[in-house]
Amino acid sequence: MAASGFRGPRQIWNAFKWSMKGLQAGWRHEASFRLEVCLAVVLVPLGLWLGNGPLEKIALVLPPVLVLSAELLNSAVEAVVDKVSPEFHELAGRAKDMGSAAVFLLLAMTALTWGLILWPRWA
């Protein structure tokens, strides 16, 4: 008998399928996610090309990926809030605004990271 919590190939495959469904839902239902995917499609390869050494490459690639992750989490929070509280409520609005702020901070971090790494090369 398998130990409690054991995750075999079937469970791993199911988790992968659910993750792909989440990415599809993000793409299908969230314009911001689609825009940020387009940005990441440009920035990730560019970061791998422009980064000097592995640490710079990671520093340029990681922020756009974090933006995508935060956008998906923000969209999940918004979906749950809309399901639980379809009418306006101050706390529901606050939850949505805070999720949006998290994405904004990561976008700002992306711009700052790229600027700090690449600006000295072209200045």
| Domain range enclosing 70 | 22-122
Ligand-binding site membership of 119 (annotated): yes
Ligand-binding site membership of 58 (annotated): no
Per the CB < 8 A criterion, the answer to whether 111 and 67 are in contact is no
Euclidean distance between CA atoms 76 and 37, whole angstroms: 17
What tokens appear for 103 in the block? Answer: 């994405």
Ligand-binding site membership of 99 (annotated): no
pLDDT in tens, the chain (123 residues): 455 667 789 999 999 999 999 999 999 999 999 999 999 999 999 999 999 999 999 999 999 999 999 999 999 999 999 999 888 889 999 999 999 999 999 999 999 999 999 998 887
**71 assigned to active site:** yes
Ligand-binding site membership of 82 (annotated): no
Q: How many domains does the chain have?
A: 1
Where residue 63 sits, what CATH number does that domain have?
Answer: 1.10.287.3610
Give the alpha-carbon dihedral of 64, 69, 72, 77, to 10 degrees. Answer: -130
Asked, for residue 111, whether it belongs to a domain, the answer is yes
pTM for the model stands at 0.88
Asked, for residue 5, whether it belongs to a domain, the answer is no
Asked, for residue 13, whether it belongs to a domain, the answer is no
Closest CA to 103 of 78, 69, 79, 77: 69
**Active-site residue identified among 36, 56, 71, 90:** 71
How distant, in Å, are the alpha carbons of 14, 25, 36, 72 from that of 21?
11, 6, 18, 12
Euclidean distance between CA atoms 24 and 89, whole angstroms: 29
Q: Count CB atoms within 10 A of the CB of residue 9.
A: 7
